[in-house]
Structure 1
Amino acid sequence: MKTKELLNILNENPNKNLLFEYTPGSFVGANYHITEVKNITIDSIDCGARPDYWKETIIQLWESPKEKDKRDYMSAYKALSILNKVDKVKPMEREVEVKFEYSNPNFHTAQLYVNAHQVNGDNLIFHLGVEQTDCKAKETCGVPETIEESVSECAPGSGCC
């Protein structure tokens, strides 16, 4: 999801409770805060020696231990007002991927993609998920698009990244 899409969805649903499902059936607690918005620039070289460059928006969610019993979720309006305030200080890139950074004692820190969103009654729910790592230079490395599950596939000299 692009940053502009997220902002539009929040703007269209200001009175909805804003929930984030970080794994199926597991939600960020109502005690969450938006603690940081990052404009990230990635400038990389893949294993085939090809340069790559892109930008992302990362929104960090943090659960306050002082509010662990909180039951009321942040509204989409409040989240949008936080993001608008950030945007005035450090403009967000609108045409880039937006991710949410999150962790808790039972879930490792991860940058999660927005897989989908839905309105369910009074709730606006963003379904988050991870994306598998991948070899971007499959052709250069001699890796087929689909690799059969086999230990020998990544043996020394096999061409596997």
Structure 2
Amino acid sequence: MKTSEFLNLLERHPERELNFEYAPGKLLRPDYHITEVKNIRVDATDCGGRSDAWTETVIQLWESPVPEHTDRSITARKALAILSRVNRKQPLMLDSPVKFEYGNRQFHTAQLHVAGEVVEGDHLVLRLSPEATQCKASDICGTPEPAPVAGARNGCDPASGCC
């Protein structure tokens, strides 16, 4: 989901409580906060020596170690107000994918992408999911087929120069 799509979703459901499912059946506590919005520019080089660049918007979600007494999450309208305040100081990168950074005592901190959304009554729930890592130079390294290649270690031939 792009940042602009996330903002449009919030605009379509301003009165609904916004929550996040960070793992199947696991929602953030209703007292969570949006604590930071990061515009990230990535300049990367893969193991095959090819360069790439992209941008991401990362929204950090946080729960206080001491739970606040509330049974209601922030509304989509309040999330929009926070993001509008951020946008005035640091323009949001609307065409960038949006990710959410979150962790708690039972769930390691991770950047999660939006795998879907659900509108249930007064709630708008974004289902988050981790993204698997991948070999970006698999065409050079020869990412292994189901049967490993003889003489290769972890799917990368030592003579290929990729690993």
Would you say same fold, with TM above 0.5?
yes
Amino acid at match of 2:111: Q
Segments of structure 1 that go 5 or more residues without pairing to the other structure are: none
1:44 aligned residue: 44
TM-score, L = length of structure 1: 0.91
Indicate the percent of aligned positions where both proteins have the same amino acid: 47
1:98 aligned residue: 98
Amino acid at match of 1:71: D
* Counterparts of residues 51-62 of structure 1 (less than 5 Å): 51-62=51-62
Q: Residues 82 and 51 (structure 1 numbering): CA distance in 2 closer, same or farther, change over 3 Å? A: same
* Counterparts of residues 1-150 of structure 1 (less than 5 Å): 1-144=1-144, 147-148=145-146
Q: Residues 59 and 158 (structure 1 numbering): CA distance in 2 closer, same or farther, change over 3 Å? A: closer
Count residues with an aligned counterpart.
159
CA distance in 2, matches of 1:75, 1:116: 18
- Is this contact kept in 2: 1:57–1:93, CA < 8 A? yes
CA distance in 1, matches of 2:76, 2:155: 52
SS at match of 1:127: strand
* 1:156, distance to aligned residue in structure 2 (A): 6.7
- Is this contact kept in 1: 2:143–2:155, CA < 8 A? no
TM-score, L = length of structure 2: 0.90
CA distance in 1, matches of 2:131, 2:98: 13
CA distance in 1, matches of 2:26, 2:40: 27
Query: Where do 4+ consecutive residues of structure 1 move more than 6 Å?
Result: none
Question: C-alpha offsets along residues 61-109 of structure 1, whole Å, 9 cap, x if unaligned?
Answer: 0002333442111100000100000000100000010000000000000
Amino acid at match of 1:64: S
Amino acid at match of 2:15: N
CA distance in 2, matches of 1:153, 1:112: 36
Segments of structure 2 that go 5 or more residues without pairing to the other structure are: none
Q: What is the root-mean-square deviation of aligned Cα atoms in Å?
A: 2.1
SS at match of 1:116: strand
